[in-house]
């Protein structure tokens, strides 16, 4: 009997004594919880252990299951705070209740406030808001299956100010600011994105298995950890050796070609837009290796010694840039704008020398057109909207000399982030079931080479994410691809002439997939941004405007279904050689461009169009029409169908015989 009593007492103690419990990385002091929905709180403990959660003057308890997992659903609550949450012996403070948004996709979500700062200098400088909190999921991959948690991140629910926002997503920052101004409640912004990744990486294996079994098998191939580790180490060694040979054999380094007093009188002179300077004299192919360019610039007494900013446009691919022999900037890949700060005292009166060392592992070194190339002075030198007022433009003429040519760097790059399911497993699944208000999906550039399956992939992504959260009503705003002309990556001289003749376009096909998926899903909206891109930059900078259109989508999905978005066709009428589209709203009237009509052989022809009221009329074609396309180009800069509030209509292709 005594043994039984001792055992009973031990069990009773275990029942009332909590072991240390763990929480997912999302649960931190300063977090924002979703208003108006049940709030899941979950984690791990010893199997059978009692777990108690104390929040907002109430206490909730559960017991960890046999796997040590536990979950408590807090009841729906109104916006407010700050609150304190106690879970076991952990105390989380300064918690707000408001709206939580998950932003995911590729590099246009990644583009930071630092990158877009010149577009919005005063607004970013002057804005702070402790009710908007920022959380950045750290990039990680997993080929073996879903993970329980993400790894610790340096941006843990930090309040919005310039310092905290500087490395954070510009779209996320501006969306939080916009939604706070609209709703007046706290905003939580979770950014979970990875540049260059295809949509397949963000979809679960279960969702892909039936229709795309080879993609799942591809992911399984990378479950061999020894292979992945060995390949990664081999790639690192190859990279180090390539760089060592490059630097050892580059005469520009040994002879100090960046020095202000270096004698460059025998160097060849060339325009930055004449790409012969980037070609090998031996092979007549683009140089892989280094090319050095120098430019002398005269500085007057008024500007000598002053701090400045060197705007060197955008360059392909890597550059190290010097002024008077001192390195002022180093960019490791093609996309970031070159904005290099010149310290006080470095510029001198008279002759100064800018030296650029191009390093190319592939492709052809070149300057990107339609970008600023100048020295900027004064208090507004950080701004590009408007441009600085005190500038010295750079010349288009440079002195050029070949450094050293190299073979291509050997690489068996795995890039696990581009493998199907690896991002869903590592960084998406672990976020569920954290309560959300809605999801932003901003991706597609990496799938434009094969857009045919994209609509199906996007439906599967939305379906598996909703299943993961067990929320079939989860709202999605899909950000359509912006306008962009990839021809500039081959080094075309400026300006690039717009595409005018009908042509197939992978970008337009992918936009159409995005449009059709959004149209068919009652809990999804499309943010059309085919007027916010840049011809020569796959990462356009007008992210505040993108966030505004995302916000409008959530306005309609969540707060007011009468909000007008981009114009949409609601009916079609064909009379003789006229086609009329009736839209869901009036548009800006006048001549309209980039409409194409297909004949019976399905060959498309440009046609005239006019807009009046809510009607678009296509006219002046002498054949039986079979299909209509609008803005069917990578870079439809002439497309001009807009609502009265200025929102552009999406590109589309319609079979008018259906």
| Higher pLDDT, residue 546 or 232 | 546
Rounded mean pLDDT, 53-79: 97
Tokens 């076991």 correspond to 88
Q: Phi/psi class of residue 503: alpha, beta or left (left: φ > 0; alpha: ψ in -120 to 50)?
A: beta
Q: Is the pLDDT of residue 493 over 90?
A: no
CA distances from 478 to 69, 391, 505, 513, 525 (A): 34, 40, 20, 11, 6
Query: How much is the mean pLDDT over the chain?
Result: 94
3-state secondary structure of 96: strand
pLDDT band at 6 (very low <50, low <70, confident <90, very high): very low
Tokens 């589309």 -> residue: 652
Query: Which alpha helices (H) appear in 357-402, and where do they start and end?
Result: none
pLDDT of 276-321, one tens digit each? 999 999 999 999 999 999 999 999 999 999 999 999 999 999 999 9
Residues 67-101 pLDDT 10s: 999 999 999 999 999 999 999 999 999 999 999 99
pLDDT of residue 119: 96
At 399-412, the pLDDT tens digits run 999 999 999 988 77
Residue with token string 């909000």: 563
Q: What is the pLDDT of residues 355-382, one digit of tens each?
A: 999 999 989 999 999 899 999 999 999 9
> Pick the residue with more confidence: 657 or 643?
643
Q: How many residues does the chain have?
A: 658
DSSP string for residues in 160-184:
ESHHHHTTSBHHHHHHHHHHHHHH-
| Residue 95, helix vs strand vs coil | strand
Instruction: Name the least confident of 121-125, 229-233, 454-458.
Output: 229-233
Q: Do the beta carbons of residue 87 and residue 41 sit within 8 Å?
A: yes
CA distances from 190 to 98, 109, 172, 580 (A): 13, 11, 8, 43
Given the structure tokens 């461009």, which residue do they identify? 593
**Three-class secondary structure assignment of 530-566:** CCCCECCECCCCCHHHHHHHHHHHHHHHHHCCCCCCC
3-class secondary structure, 90:
strand
Segment 125-152 mean pLDDT: 97
**pLDDT(616) > 90:** yes
pLDDT of residue 18: 44
pLDDT tens per residue across span 164-192? 999 999 999 999 999 999 999 999 999 99
Reported confidence tier of residue 346, pLDDT bands at 50, 70, 90 = very high
339 — phi, psi (to 5°)? Answer: -125, 100
pLDDT band at 496; cut points 50, 70, 90: low
Confidence of residue 15 (pLDDT cuts 50, 70, 90): very low
Determine how many CB atoms are found less than 10 A away from the CB of residue 161: 15
CA distance 469 to 431: 9
Q: What is the pLDDT of residue 500?
A: 87
For 498-535, letters b (16+ CB in 10 Å) and e give: ebeebeebbbbbbbbbbbbbbeebebbbbbbbbbbbbb
At 513 the three-state DSSP class reads helix
Please, is 126 exposed, middle or buried when counting C-beta atoms within 10 Å of its C-beta (0-12, 13-18, 19+)? exposed
Question: How high is the pLDDT of residue 488?
Answer: 54
Tokens of 27: 């649960």
Give the confidence band of 8 by pLDDT, cuts at 50, 70, 90: very low
In the predicted structure, residue 29 carries a pLDDT above the cut 90 = yes
What is the pLDDT at residue 657? 80
Q: Could you give the 3-state DSSP secondary structure of residue 290?
A: strand
* Contact (CB, 8 A) for 553 and 476: no
Identify the bridge partners of residue 72 per DSSP, sorted by sequence position. 41
| Percent of the chain whose pLDDT exceeds 90 | 90
Per the CB < 8 A criterion, the answer to whether 435 and 100 are in contact is yes
Q: Are 297 and 304 in contact (CB under 8 A)?
A: no
Q: Is 88 left (phi over 0), alpha (psi -120 to 50) or beta?
A: left
Torsion sign (Cα): 415, 420, 423, 425: negative
Cα–Cα distance, 106 to 482 (Å, whole number): 13
In this predicted structure, what is the pLDDT of residue 412? Answer: 73
pLDDT of residue 550: 98
Assess whether pLDDT exceeds 50 at residue 149: yes
Lowest mean pLDDT among 42-51, 73-82, 573-582: 573-582
Q: How many CB atoms neighbour CB 570 within 10 A?
A: 11
Q: Which residues contact 485 (CB under 8 A, 6 or more apart)?
A: 496, 499, 535, 536, 634, 635
Q: What is the dihedral of CA 151, 153, 158, 160, to 10 degrees?
A: -120
What's the pLDDT at 79?
98
Q: What is the pLDDT of residue 576?
A: 79
Whether residue 423 has pLDDT greater than 50: yes
Give the ranges where 410-470 is alpha helix by DSSP (H): 422-423, 454-469
**121 token code pair:** 């200098």
Model confidence over 88-136: pLDDT tens digits? 999 999 999 999 999 999 999 999 999 999 999 999 999 999 999 999 9
> Long-range pairs for 247-252 at CB < 8 Å and ≥24 separation?
249/404, 250/289, 250/290, 250/403, 250/404, 251/403, 251/404, 252/290, 252/292, 252/357, 252/401, 252/403
Contacting residues for 88 by C-beta, under 8 A, at least 6 apart = 18, 19, 20, 21, 45, 51, 52
Structure confidence at residue 284 (pLDDT): 92
Residue pair 323/353 in contact (Cβ under 8 Å)? The answer is yes
How many CA atoms are closer than 13 Å to the CA of 315, on its beta-carbon side? 26
Which residues neighbour 658 within 8 Å (Cβ) at sequence distance 6 or greater?
none
pLDDT digits (tens, 9 = 90+) for 499-546: 889 999 999 999 999 999 999 999 999 999 999 999 999 999 999 999
**pLDDT at residue 489 is higher than 90:** no
Q: Quote the percentage of the chain above a pLDDT of 70.
A: 95
Structure tokens at 242: 């390539």
Q: Judge contact between 101 and 151, C-beta under 8 A.
A: no
Integer Cα distance of 432 and 4 in angstroms: 43
């Amino acid at each position: 009997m005594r043994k039984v009593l001792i055992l009973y007492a031990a069990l009773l103690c275990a029942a009332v004594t909590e072991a240390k419990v763990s929480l997912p990385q999302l649960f931190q002091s300063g977090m924002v919880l979703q208003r108006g929905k049940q709030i899941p709180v979950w984690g791990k403990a010893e199997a059978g252990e009692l777990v108690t959660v104390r929040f907002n003057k109430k206490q909730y308890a559960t017991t960890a299951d046999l796997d040590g997992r536990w979950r408590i659903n807090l009841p729906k609550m109104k916006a407010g705070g700050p609150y304190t949450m106690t879970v076991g012996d952990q105390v989380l403070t300064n918690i707000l209740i408001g709206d939580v948004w998950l932003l995911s996709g590729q590099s246009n979500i990644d583009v930071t406030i630092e990158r877009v700062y010149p577009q919005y200098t005063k607004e970013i400088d002057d804005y702070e808001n402790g009710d908007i909190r920022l959380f950045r999921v750290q990039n990680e991959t997993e080929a073996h299956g879903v993970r329980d948690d993400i790894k610790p991140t340096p941006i843990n629910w930090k309040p919005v100010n310039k310092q905290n926002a500087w490395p954070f997503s510009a779209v996320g920052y501006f969306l939080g600011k916009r939604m706070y101004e609209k709703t007046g409640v706290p905003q939580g912004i979770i950014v979970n994105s990875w540049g260059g990744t295809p949509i397949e990486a963000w979809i679960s294996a279960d969702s892909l298995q039936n229709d795309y079994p080879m993609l799942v098998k591809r992911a399984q191939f990378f479950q061999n950890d020894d292979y992945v580790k060995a390949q990664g180490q081999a790639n690192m060694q190859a990279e180090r050796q390539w760089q060592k040979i490059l630097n050892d054999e580059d005469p520009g380094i040994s002879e100090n070609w960046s020095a202000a007093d270096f004698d460059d009188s025998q160097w060849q002179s060339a325009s930055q837009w004449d790409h012969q300077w980037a070609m090998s004299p031996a092979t007549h192919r683009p140089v892989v290796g280094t090319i050095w360019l120098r430019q002398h610039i005269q500085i007057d007494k008024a500007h000598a010694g002053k701090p400045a900013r060197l705007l060197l446009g955008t360059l392909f691919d890597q550059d190290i840039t010097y002024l008077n022999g001192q390195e002022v900037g180093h960019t490791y890949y093609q996309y970031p704008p070159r904005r290099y700060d010149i310290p006080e005292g470095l510029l001198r009166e008279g002759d100064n020398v800018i030296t650029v060392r191009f390093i190319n592992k592939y492709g052809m070194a070149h300057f990107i057109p339609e970008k600023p190339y100048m020295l900027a002075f004064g208090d507004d030198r950080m701004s590009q909207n408007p441009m600085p007022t005190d500038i010295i433009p750079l010349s288009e003429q440079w002195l050029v000399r070949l450094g050293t040519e190299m073979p291509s760097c050997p690489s068996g790059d795995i890039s696990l982030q581009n493998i199907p399911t690896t991002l869903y497993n590592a960084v998406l699944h672990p976020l569920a079931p954290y309560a959300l208000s809605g999801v932003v999906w901003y991706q597609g550039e990496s799938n434009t080479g094969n857009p045919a399956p994209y609509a199906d992939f996007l439906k599967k992504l939305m379906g598996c994410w909703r299943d993961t959260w067990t929320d079939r009503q989860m709202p999605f705003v899909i950000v359509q691809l912006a306008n962009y002309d990839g021809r500039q990556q081959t080094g075309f001289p400026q300006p690039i002439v717009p595409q005018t003749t009908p042509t197939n376009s992978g970008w337009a096909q992918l936009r159409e997939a995005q449009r059709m998926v959004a149209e068919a899903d009652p809990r999804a909206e499309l943010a059309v941004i085919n007027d916010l891109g840049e011809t020569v930059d796959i990462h356009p900078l007008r992210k505040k405007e993108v966030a505004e259109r995302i916000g409008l989508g959530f306005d309609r999905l969540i707060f007011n279904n009468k909000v007008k978005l981009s114009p949409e066709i609601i009916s079609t009428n064909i009379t003789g050689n006229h086609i009329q589209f009736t839209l869901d709203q009036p548009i800006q009237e006048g001549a309209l461009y980039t409409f194409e009509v297909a004949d019976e052989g399905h060959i498309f022809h440009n046609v005239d169009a006019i807009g009046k009221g809510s009607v678009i009329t296509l006219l002046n074609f002498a054949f039986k029409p079979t299909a209509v396309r609008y803005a069917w180009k990578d870079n439809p800069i002439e497309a001009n169908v807009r609502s009265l509030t200025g929102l552009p209509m999406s590109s589309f292709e319609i079979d008018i015989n259906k």
